[in-house]
């Protein structure tokens, strides 16, 4: 399956516009048995690569997920993590900071959750909330927010230099699509728990959020930690793209099985009694 993942990467130094990526793009691919097979094959590749990452124990992968409500962060995690051995993976969901967290710098709680060597970490929301919701709602002075982009870049550079690969994914949807998803939540008894009347206030500021996302994408997509804007309205395609990004990143990291400190030849079958 011919997937061009690079088209979704925000290139540093270019003036990126969200409008350049269509939220319902499927890269010219149709949903079919083939696309399903391709996704399952990707999951199997991820499984093998993760085992090597775990065995090697030298590098880590951090996947950051950001999106507006209803864009599918939860289902992305459910789908993509189904190809990852839970033993080497942790998902962390960032909520409104506690008083204890707010008494520290904004990266303090984030740094504490980065994956250990050998692991894959998935952030459901992240330090980027501190330049998104915080910017839009004015929860901190704009001068403070403006400094955070560079502070984030330096933090991620540190992670990169110390063996943690960071890939950041924005699940891209339209305001109309969000409306459909909100209506679905209200229609379905089993999804009502996900409806939060407060989310409508964020929806009302859609354009402000898109502006904050665009600023963030432009200032924080770096060589060390690139941002990808993934069309998320077709979930099967979203899964295929994100699975592909994880597989390609792990492949590039090329984890190696560790050197043995024994000679297997010293252990012929008859020696194991
Ligand atoms: P949910 O992901 O639906 O459980 O909601 C978590 C909420 O926490 C969202 O409304 C986020 O905007 C909010 N949140 C996460 N991080 C921060 C932060 N650093 N500052 C303010 N709100 C945050
Ligand atoms: Mg929510």
pLDDT tens digits, 18-55: 999 999 999 999 999 999 999 999 999 999 999 999 99
Residue 1 has pLDDT above 80, yes or no: no
pTM of the predicted structure, to 2 decimals? 0.96
Separation of alpha carbons 68 and 269, rounded Å: 57
The CA-atom distances, in angstroms, between 46 and each of 49, 52, 147, 249 are 5, 10, 36, 10
Q: Is 133 in the pocket of ligand 1 (CB under 6 A)?
A: yes
Q: Is 97 in the pocket of ligand 1 (CB under 6 A)?
A: yes
Residue pLDDT, tens place only, 173-182: 999 999 999 9
What's the pLDDT at 9? Answer: 98
Could you tell me the two tokens for 5?
Answer: 């993942």
CA nearest ligand 1 atom 17, residue? 96
Q: Give the phi and the psi of residue 122 in degrees, each rounded to 5.
A: -120, 125
Q: For a pocket test of ligand 1, which of 98, 101, 133 has the largest count of ligand atoms closer than 8 A to its C-beta?
A: 133
Closest ligand to Cα 202: 1
Average confidence (pLDDT) over 134-149: 98
Contact 209, 137 (CB under 8 A): no
What's the pLDDT at 15? Answer: 96
CA nearest ligand 1 atom 20, residue? 96
Strands 89-93 and 120-124: parallel
Give the position, in ligand 1's atom list, of the atom nearest the Cα of 132.
12
Closest ligand to Cα 69: 2
Residue pLDDT, tens place only, 215-264: 999 999 999 999 999 999 999 999 999 999 999 999 999 999 999 999 99
For the chain, list the domains and their CATH numbers: 6-174+211-251 (3.40.50.300)
What's the pLDDT at 57? Answer: 97
**Residue whose C-alpha is closest to residue 169's, from 113, 212, 232:** 232
Ligand 1 centre to CA of 94 (Å) is: 6
Mean pLDDT, the chain, whole residue set: 97
3-state secondary structure of 71: coil
Ligand 1 centre to CA of 87 (Å) is: 27
CA nearest ligand 1 atom 6, residue? 95
């Amino acid at each position: 399956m011919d997937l061009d993942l690079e088209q979704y990467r925000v290139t540093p130094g270019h003036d990126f516009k969200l409008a350049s990526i269509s939220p319902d793009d499927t890269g010219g691919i149709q949903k079919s048995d083939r696309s399903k097979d391709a996704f399952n094959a990707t999951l199997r590749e991820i499984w093998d690569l993760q085992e090597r990452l775990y065995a090697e124990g030298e590098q880590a992968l951090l996947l950051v997920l950001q999106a507006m409500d209803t864009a599918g962060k939860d289902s992305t995690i459910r789908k993509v993590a189904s190809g990852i051995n839970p033993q080497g993976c942790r998902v962390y969901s960032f909520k409104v900071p506690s008083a204890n967290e707010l008494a520290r710098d904004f990266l303090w709680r984030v740094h504490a959750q980065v994956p250990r060597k050998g692991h894959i970490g998935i952030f459901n929301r992240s330090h980027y909330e501190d330049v998104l919701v915080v910017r839009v709602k004015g929860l901190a002075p704009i001068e403070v927010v403006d400094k955070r982009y560079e502070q984030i870049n330096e933090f991620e550079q540190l992670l990169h230099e110390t063996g943690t690969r960071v890939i950041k994914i924005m699940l891209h949807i339209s305001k109309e699509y969000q409306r459909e998803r909100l209506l679905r939540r209200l229609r379905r008894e089993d999804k009502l728990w996900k409806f939060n009347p407060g989310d409508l206030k964020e929806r009302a500021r859609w354009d402000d959020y898109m502006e904050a996302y665009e600023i963030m994408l432009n200032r924080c997509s770096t060589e060390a930690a690139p941002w990808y804007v993934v069309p998320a309205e077709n979930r099967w395609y979203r899964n295929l793209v994100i699975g592909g990004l994880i597989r390609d990143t792990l492949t590039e990291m090329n984890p190696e099985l560790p050197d043995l400190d024994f000679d297997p030849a010293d252990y012929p079958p008859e020696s194991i009694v």
